[in-house]
């Protein structure tokens, strides 16, 4: 890979689901991250008065997807199936890929064992403006890996 001096733009990305569903394009993705909890421990016979940092469990942050409302029920069907059939049966893998100017993938965040956690419909107002009706989906994931 060639050395690049300028960071990639945050506007050129795709979101894909392992079931191949077409959920439409998303305008925003936020919350990608992972955290390792740390427990502090100190032996009673330590010569130096300090704590040791012991790594604990890790957790993946909730990822929020936003998109303009389109004439598609497939996203809500996944939510409904998760509610009625149980989360274990409806877990998915979600890949969020960042692309460069030539549409080449430069980095992909893969979320595993994902279920929909929260859905928010659009805010509707009759003020006659040009605002787009937006919907929001919050995903809960158990794992995160980064691929290049």
The confidence score (pLDDT) of residue 49 equals 87
Computed over every residue of the chain, the mean pLDDT equals: 90
Residue 37 lies in a domain: no
Q: What is the pLDDT of residues 116-132, one digit of tens each?
A: 999 999 988 888 778 88
Q: Are 66 and 28 in contact (CB under 8 A)?
A: yes
The confidence score (pLDDT) of residue 22 equals 61
Residue 115 lies in a domain: yes
The answer on pLDDT for 1 being more than 60 is: no
CA atoms of 87 and 114, how far apart (whole Å):
9
Look up the CATH number of the domain holding residue 102: 2.30.110.20
CA atoms of 97 and 110, how far apart (whole Å):
8
Give the residue-averaged pLDDT of 103-107: 93
Q: Are 122 and 136 in contact (CB under 8 A)?
A: no
Q: Are 29 and 16 in contact (CB under 8 A)?
A: no
Residue 78 lies in a domain: yes
Residue 2 lies in a domain: no
Q: What is the pLDDT of residues 49-81, one digit of tens each?
A: 889 999 999 999 999 999 998 877 888 888 999
Banded pLDDT at 136 (limits 50, 70, 90): very high
Range of the domain at 82: 13-32+61-147
Question: The whole model's pTM is what?
Answer: 0.86
The confidence score (pLDDT) of residue 61 equals 96
The answer on pLDDT for 36 being more than 60 is: yes
Residue 52 lies in a domain: no
The confidence score (pLDDT) of residue 148 equals 82
Residue 5 lies in a domain: no
Residue 17 lies in a domain: yes
Based on the structure, what is the number of domains in the chain?
A: 1
Residue 139 lies in a domain: yes
The confidence score (pLDDT) of residue 2 equals 61
CA atoms of 83 and 116, how far apart (whole Å):
9
The confidence score (pLDDT) of residue 73 equals 81
């Amino acid at each position: 890979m060639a050395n690049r001096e300028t960071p990639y733009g945050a506007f050129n990305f795709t979101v894909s689901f392992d079931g191949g569903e077409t959920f439409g394009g998303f305008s925003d993705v936020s919350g990608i991250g992972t955290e390792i909890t740390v427990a502090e421990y100190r032996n009673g016979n330590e010569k130096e008065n300090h704590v040791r940092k012991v790594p604990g469990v890790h957790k993946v942050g909730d990822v929020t997807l936003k998109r303009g409302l389109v004439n598609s029920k497939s996203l809500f069907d996944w939510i409904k199936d998760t509610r009625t059939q149980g989360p274990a049966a409806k877990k998915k893998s979600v890949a969020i890929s960042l692309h460069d100017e030539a549409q080449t993938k430069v980095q992909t965040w893969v979320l595993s064992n994902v279920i929909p956690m929260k859905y928010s419909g659009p805010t509707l107002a009759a003020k006659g403006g040009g605002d787009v009706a937006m919907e929001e989906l919050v995903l809960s994931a158990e794992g995160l890996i980064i691929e290049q």
